[in-house]
A and B are shown apart, each in its own frame.
Chain A
Amino acid sequence: GAVVSQHPSRVICKSGTSVKIECRSLDFQATTMFWYRQFPKKSLMLMATSNEGSKATYEQGVEKDKFLINHASLTLSTLTVTSAHPEDSSFYICSARAGRNYGYTFGSGTRLTVV
């Protein structure tokens, strides 16, 4: 079945630094990937839609200069949290779909803690 790999699973960084999260589709090509954010005891909130070879589409209220998304190949999308602050601490999850006859596959998530 379709597999999405997300790395790292958890990361701790200092305030002001940048952190990159990778999302890879292992056995299929994904022209579109999705990035979600989840706060404790809350549901997943879509942050942005990552499009291969073009700019990402950000949801209202999500700062595109802070959350940089790059989708340079059909199997890799990256989310970079720039100048991280403690309020950016959250669980970040990516997702992709192998095709319209497949369900959505999610990565295992990245727990970001900014200290």
Chain B
Amino acid sequence: DAKTTQPPSMDCAEGRAANLPCNHSTISGNEYVYWYRQIHSQGPQYIIHGLKNNETNEMASLIITEDRKSSTLILPHATLRDTAVYYCIVRVAGSGSARQLTFGSGTQLTVLP
């Protein structure tokens, strides 16, 4: 699985959009980009994933650059409850359930009142 690079921390004002970047310059064509977040002392929570097209769900939007070497997770209207560590993970598409997720150091997002 390709390595990812994320800033260690970011702040965002409550109600504003939070844009979390992720660099995955060594990504290969069959690797998806996954985003998870972990609120303090809880298990990680799935947010969104994508291959090459932009994706949106009820939680967030995922913007993947055309060359797929980087992506941005967007929380459109951040709330205090979005304060968490956000992990960007790259993983081979179509892999069986037997392969684990490998976590990097993530980005600590702090939403400020």
Contacts and interface: CB of A to CB of B under 8 A. Distances in A.
Interface of A: 4, 6, 30-32, 34, 36, 43-46, 49, 51, 91, 93, 95-100, 103-109, 111
Contact of A46 (B36, B38, B41, B102): B102
Interface residues of B, number: 23
Contacts, number: 57
Nearest to A48: B100
Nearest to B91: A104
Interface of chain A, main secondary structure: strand
B94 A100 contact: yes
A32 B46 contact: no
Contacts of A49: 98, 100
A104 B101 contact: yes
Interface in B72-113: 87, 94-98, 100-106
18 contacts: A30-B97, A43-B104, A43-B105, A43-B106, A44-B38, A44-B103, A51-B98, A93-B44, A95-B100, A100-B95, A103-B34, A103-B49, A104-B44, A105-B46, A106-B43, A106-B44, A107-B43, A109-B43
